[in-house]
Every structure is written in structure tokens, then in C-alpha cells.
Amino acid sequence: MKSTPQHLLESLSHIAPMDAGAMALFLDGAQQQIVKRDDYLLQEGHRCHYIWFIETGACRAFYDNGKKETNTSFYFENTFLTNLSSLRNNVSSEYNIQAMEATTLWRWHKDELSRLYGISPGIVVFGRQWLEHLLITQETHNDWLKKNNPEERYQSILAHHPELIQRVSLTQLSSYLGISRETLSRIRRRLQ
């Protein structure tokens, strides 16, 4: 088995316990990837071929219509990410995934994952549970956007995701919240 960071092993176990054999197979199928700030993992119009795990660093997912970027997700250490629709359906991505900092990742190619699913029921269970976790996270985020006004969203970030305040620019954070940077500045002043 490759030299693997402890937090990757813990994150895998948190999603779904795997026996030692399945864990070794899964980790042996991974490749380490190191990217610089602003490097793209995936660009709009390209097909996604990987699932990534962030060992260190941060990434963001965003749409870019040429005039404005709309950030939809931020990913930090100990997080898996992918564009599931592009990966699964072999279609072009409608959004970008980009490193916000120098980032070290582990990645699994979709062909390697298919091979692993064919030889290990433990990895199949892990994949299903990871997918369920991903869908619940997306559903929770969508509900959060719909149910809360901008000030409530910002307060929620302060309480539950302070890393966003520390590591994401105000412009990126405001687009994630669905408001202008000026509105975010007003909310911040009001809450200080």
C-alpha cells in the first residue's frame, strides 16, 4: 500500500468501513496530484474523469458566463469532490473546478473505479455510501439557499464554516451566498 495520509484513511472509514483488503485495493488505485493556485482540475466543456480527495489546500466549483463567476461549492482538506454528472454520464462539464491554493490531492480515474467495483464488494459499498453522502450534502446546501435570507446564510457560515471567511475572497463568498459584494459588506458591518 502507498504511503497515505492518516486523514484520507479516516475519511474513507467515516464514509463506509472497508476491510483491509478493500482498503488496500482502493488506495493502490489512487494517484497523487499536486496543483498550483488557479490550476484547473476540470474546465467547463471538458469531461470529468476523476474523483479527487483533498489532502491539503482548497478548491472551488464555479460557473463562468464570461462576465461573472458564480461560485457553487468550496472544498477544503479531507473532502472528496467531482462533477458527478459529467463523470457518470460521460458528458461535458457545465462548470469549472479550480484550486484556490496550492493543493495536494489523491485522485481515482473512473476506469480504475469501475475495475475496483468489479473485484471488491467493499469498494462497491463505499461508492454507494459516498454517493448518498454527496447527494445529501447537495440537498442540504440547496435547502439552505432556499430557506435562508442572505444575512441568515452569512450567520450560518460564521457559526458552522468559519474557514470560508478565512480562506475565500469576499467576491467569491458573495457569489456563493447569491448576493453582491456590497450587500455582503453591509451585512458584515451590521453584524460586527
In contact, 41 and 99? CB cutoff 8 Å: yes
pLDDT in tens, 99-112: 999 999 999 999 99
**Average pLDDT of the residues of the chain:** 91
List the domain boundaries for the chain. 6-147, 148-192
Fold category of 6-147 in CATH: Jelly Rolls (2.60.120)
The predicted structure's pLDDT at residue 4? 61
Specify the pTM: 0.90
Angle formed at CA 167 by CA 161 and CA 58, multiple of 5 degrees: 90
The pLDDT tens digits for 164-184 are 999 999 999 999 998 999 999
